Chains A and B, each alone.
Chain A
Amino acid sequence: MTTLLEMREITKVFPGVKALDRVSLTVEAGEIHAICGENGAGKSTLMKVLSGVYPHGSFEGEILYDGAPLRNRSIRDSEDKGIIIIHQELALIPLLSIAENLFMGNEVASRGVISWPAAFKRTEELLRQVGLNEPPGAIVGKLGVGKQQLIEIAKALSKNVRLLILDEPTAALQEADADRLLDLMLELKARGVTQIIISHKLNEISRVADRITVIRDGTTVSTLSKDEISEDRIIKDMVGRDMAHRYPERESHPGEVLFEVENWSCWHPEQAGRQMIKDVSLNVRKGEIVGIAGLMGTGRTELAMSIFGRSYGKGHQGTVRMHGKPVDVSTVSKAIAAGISYVTEDRKALGLILDEPIVKNISLANLAGVAQRWVLDKRREMQVAESYRKQLAIRTPGVQQKVVNLSGGNQQKVVLSKWLFTDPELLILDEPTRGIDVGAKFEIYTIMKDLADQGRGILMISSEMPELLGMCDRIYVMNEGRIVGELARGEASQERIMALIVTDNGKTTGKVA
């Protein structure tokens, strides 16, 4: 094998922070090379150095590509050499068609006039290569994230890619789509495209990667070859310590039934007659952690939000009870008053005011708690924020720091603080560890454990089955808006959950023995 890329002793300094400290990376031609590391370890910065986002001269060190020094002045330079990066946040324009997106900035044109027949023909060809069966004229925004990801790859192929960099490509994908994407990566490898994948998901890495480089705190920790790859080893290198247990030890003592939903239904807010939640019944006991498993788009978030102040859907039917008594959850403030909190899956868009400091975010859902009548007591507000900063170990110079500057894990702790300050009896946690690195995940799990130990009920929605299995006392399985099964801790396994989803014929509900 020949070496395609060699990055030597790359150092990149931002004002006040050394993001990369003499990081080296060697990628062989034709391999899939994984880069692992916690959030903020410097993975994305390294890729930005490689792709020319940070031009030559703005960092120290040397890059050899094809044996020759690489000096990018811009992204364009690196793309000309066949280095193409697909970012976590997809860069497609949702209102335009697939063909328009594929050739954006690279139009099939002569003298400035686009030839649409030619563009459509090439588009069809590229879509076939990535295995996407959609007409070239389809509007990108109407396709799912999985398909959009494939379009990004097709776009890379149209630029004669030699080194393809995928930054957390499966983060937003459900399992089937993620699988398809990984297959495609292997296919591209067979055709000689060298690839770098940045990922948090260790099972995926062990499936596709030939070698792994682990980065921690801006330095290279290790490069492992295929046969050295094991999840435990990777985790150990990532966090710099052994993690014998990925989940906190927990002895659960569920109490009486705290929260009950009975025959809950609701309909799509725009598409008349489309029932999104179908006759769902479930319950959570005091001190119990209950999971909801299911594929993305099966209505788990919709269920949670429709219960939480009818924040989703219309035509709500059904009963919600706390301590056996029906409660009014028709508005968010009533749901909060009833002792329910909902921690969103999308903390940046729905959970936080990014430009405001931590202290103002924490008090937001319970301003009355830091006010006398309607006048804010800012001293009390600071004390509250400080106490949550200590309790949940939010790592920040101070609670006046804007939340936009915090890492994902710390942001999640701020959102949790906000809801804990409403003193909820039941917390609905929607994907509580999404986009959070391994170390912070453990902290979030520990917080969940503590909350359950205090006698609060937790309803946890997650797409990561291992975390459901690791944390929950019971797991409900949801498919197409219905509960299709309920598994107790002892009987739950990834296979059982998948089996319930796959064999769901749209009618049966009930407990599976």
Chain B
Amino acid sequence: MADVKTNPLGSHLRENGMLLALVAIVVLFSILVAMQGKPMFLQAPNITNIFLQNGHVIILALGMLLIIVSGHIDLSVGSVAAFTGAVAAWLTVTHKLPVYAVIPLTLIVGGLIGAAQGYWVAYWRIPSFIVTLAGMLVFRGATLWLLGGQNIGPFPREFQAMSSGFIPDLTGLMKPHGLTLIITALAIGVVIWIGLRSRARDAEFGITPEPAGLFWGRTLIIAAATAFVGWQLASFRGLPNVLIVLAVLTVLYAFFTENTVQGRRIYAVGGNEKAAKLSGIRTERLVFFCFVNMGMLAALAGMMVTARLNSATPKAGTGFELDAIAAVFIGGASMAGGSGKIVGVVIGALIMGVMNMGMSILGVGIDYQQMIKGLVLLAAVIFDVYNKTK
């Protein structure tokens, strides 16, 4: 019938559920780790490592969300990350180019690879599954070819700083890390301010707002978690560079997808391509853009991983595409395109990252780890589908 009751939690149900799941998983591991008599799960080195070891997944997932929202898929990102990592190594180690030249050059290579794939998908309407499956093979081969089957490394210090460096403490406080504390405080303030602002807007337009308790509960959890992480990091070595890059990218992409004309249009393309086209939207160009963007993000991820391992290897990036895709779907995007949020995707990637680390600390074998991760992905999507049909 025409009248359908809307869920009081509305569109927030999914994000709240995700956040709750993340918190629950963190608490679960904290308890399990404590029960084994090991040092605290949420100590600074572990927190730092979660971001260092999963930064590439988050970065890939940001681009993958756009691809999936536009109604496509990219299976090639692992191979592209490996290839661009090799390109960066080749430029740095073999040709002795400085970092500030290597980074933009590598990003351009990634963008060109994305353009090459996006061209066929967008303008020739070749299914993205096929194009990027081909790309997955081609760039894995290209990586082997460029590296000649060898590892290239090690890298100069500046290049490594991309993945393992920490921000300097401009306050000179050092212990605890002053700048880290300032940034943490700012971040908490911004979260509360944005939350209040959108609540005020909802009220203005008579949209049933989230119950106040739920809003404040969630905001409090986010603020407390941010404060805790900030304090831990400040008392260790400060904010890792990677975390700054991730935070900036996350905010940028969240803003792009939700608050810009082009971002909105990408959702329209995925939601109903024909309707979007007849509304004057150049759908081909947007899809093409999504793939170029994905290529550049894959290059960034490739460089970060190469820098962390301090060498480019032919096997790098294996399975990255699946991690990124899993993060997007755990984060609540729809396979059919047209829906999904950046925040959800980042939480999805963090859930995977926390689980990886937690299970490793607990000594869970890689065999069980894979099975558990697979089941979590399935459960998240079942939860989504169940909520939609209810």
Q: State A433–B106 Cα separation when bound (angstroms).
A: 55
Chain B: which residue is nearest A363 at the CB level? B264
Neighbour of A374 across the interface among B6, B262, B278, CB < 8 A: B262
Q: State A382–B205 Cα separation when bound (angstroms).
A: 7
* Chain B residue contacts of A371, Cβ below 8 A: 260-261
* Cβ–Cβ contact B271 & A355, under 8 A: yes
A364 at the interface (CB under 8 A from B): yes
Mark B185-209 against chain A: 1 for CB-CB distance below 8 A, else 0. 0000000000000000100111100
Interface residues of A in 355-394 (CB under 8 A from B): 355-356, 360, 363-365, 367-368, 371, 374-376, 378-379, 382, 386
* Chain B residue contacts of A15, Cβ below 8 A: 5
Tally of contacts, chain A with chain B, CB under 8 A: 106
Closest-CB distance, A37 to chain B (whole angstroms)? 13
* Chain B residue contacts of A311, Cβ below 8 A: 277-278
* Chain B residue contacts of A356, Cβ below 8 A: 267-268, 271, 338
* Cβ–Cβ contact B2 & A405, under 8 A: yes
Q: State A355–B275 Cα separation when bound (angstroms).
A: 12
How many chain B residues touch A (CB < 8 A): the figure is: 32
B375 at the interface (CB under 8 A from A): no
Neighbour of B259 across the interface among A368, A378, A398, A405, CB < 8 A: A378
* Cβ–Cβ contact B339 & A355, under 8 A: yes
Mark B257-295 against chain A: 1 for CB-CB distance below 8 A, else 0. 001111011011001101111111110000000000000
Q: State A400–B206 Cα separation when bound (angstroms).
A: 10
B4 at the interface (CB under 8 A from A): yes
Q: State A17–B2 Cα separation when bound (angstroms).
A: 9
A352 at the interface (CB under 8 A from B): yes
* Chain A residue contacts of B1, Cβ below 8 A: 14, 17, 19, 40, 45
* Cβ–Cβ contact A333 & B338, under 8 A: no
* Cβ–Cβ contact B278 & A351, under 8 A: yes
Mark A401-429 against chain B: 1 for CB-CB distance below 8 A, else 0. 10001110010000000100000000000
A353 at the interface (CB under 8 A from B): yes
Neighbour of A397 across the interface among B6, B261, B265, CB < 8 A: B6
Mark A314-358 against chain B: 1 for CB-CB distance below 8 A, else 0. 000000000000000001110110000010100001111111100
* Cβ–Cβ contact A374 & B260, under 8 A: yes
Residue in B1, B201, B282 with the greatest tally of chain A CB atoms within 10 Å: B1
Q: State A201–B188 Cα separation when bound (angstroms).
A: 62
Neighbour of B261 across the interface among A16, A374, A382, CB < 8 A: A374
A309 at the interface (CB under 8 A from B): yes
Q: State A421–B381 Cα separation when bound (angstroms).
A: 37
Q: State A353–B269 Cα separation when bound (angstroms).
A: 9
Neighbour of A378 across the interface among B201, B275, B276, CB < 8 A: B201
Chain A: which residue is nearest B10 at the CB level? A400
| SS class, residues of chain A in contact with chain B | mixed
* Chain A residue contacts of B338, Cβ below 8 A: 353, 355-356
Mark B108-120 against chain A: 1 for CB-CB distance below 8 A, else 0. 0000000000000
Neighbour of B4 across the interface among A16, A40, A374, CB < 8 A: A16
Closest-CB distance, A439 to chain B (whole angstroms)? 13
* Cβ–Cβ contact A400 & B2, under 8 A: no
* Cβ–Cβ contact B271 & A332, under 8 A: no
Neighbour of A40 across the interface among B2, B205, B259, B276, CB < 8 A: B2
Neighbour of A365 across the interface among B3, B6, B207, B280, CB < 8 A: B280
Mark A1-19 against chain B: 1 for CB-CB distance below 8 A, else 0. 0000000000000111101
Q: State A308–B265 Cα separation when bound (angstroms).
A: 20
Give 19 CB contacts A-B under 8 Å.
A309-B280, A332-B281, A350-B274, A351-B275, A351-B278, A354-B271, A355-B338, A355-B339, A364-B276, A367-B264, A367-B265, A374-B260, A375-B259, A382-B201, A399-B205, A401-B6, A405-B3, A405-B4, A407-B2
- Extra contacts, 10 of them, besides A379-B201, A410-B2 (Cβ < 8 A), are A16-B3, A19-B1, A40-B2, A332-B277, A351-B278, A355-B339, A364-B268, A371-B260, A376-B264, A405-B3
